[in-house]
Amino acid sequence: MAPDDISRREAQRLRGLAEAARVSRTFEILAENGALWVWGDQDEILFTEDAKRRTLLPVWPYAAVAQLEHEGEVDGEHAIRIPVRVFLDEWLPQLREDDADIAIFPVEERSAATLTLDEFRSRLTAALRLN
């Protein structure tokens, strides 16, 4: 397995973590692997909304956990790997223009946390420094 691939069993274990543990583990994994995962198809990335109708971009630490979240959904959609430096430098400015926040490691459509772009940048930058 590649460093950013995990077994279905490990993906299920991570999905079962409490929300705070999913958040901290997500940032550790992003820093270790240098990538995060979003969901979409060849044309666009999937966004969602929360109860307050805020636009959210769900992110996952591994493709396997994103795939479990979307099992049986639309054909052609898949996990998309984004290097963390590209995400920080290119995606965050675009997300700011789109007025979107980040949904961390959703499981059954419940995010472990919803972070503003500044909060996400701060947490990820700190994790990268520790790694």
With a pLDDT cut of 70, the percent of the chain lying above it is 95
Contact 88, 121 (CB under 8 A): yes
pLDDT digits (tens, 9 = 90+) for 38-91: 999 988 999 999 888 999 999 999 999 999 998 876 778 999 999 999 999 999
Helices 117-130 & 19-33 angle (0-180, nearest 10)? 60
For the entire predicted model, the pTM comes to: 0.92
Summarize the confidence of residues 14-28 as an average pLDDT.
96
Structural domain contains residue 31: yes
What are 30's two structure tokens?
């992003």
Closest CA to 32 of 1, 4, 11, 74: 4
Per-residue DSSP letter, 45: B
What is the distance between the alpha carbons of residues 102 and 109, in angstroms, rounded to a whole number?
13
pLDDT band at residue 1, thresholds of 50, 70 and 90?
Answer: very low
Domains of the chain: total: 1
Residue-number span of the structural domain to which 69 is assigned: 8-130
In order, the DSSP letters of 54-86 are -EEEEEBSSHHHHHHHTTT--TT-EEEEEEHHH
Is the pLDDT at 32 greater than 80, yes or no?
Answer: yes
Summarize the confidence of residues 10-31 as an average pLDDT.
96
- CATH assignment of the domain containing 104: 3.40.1350.90
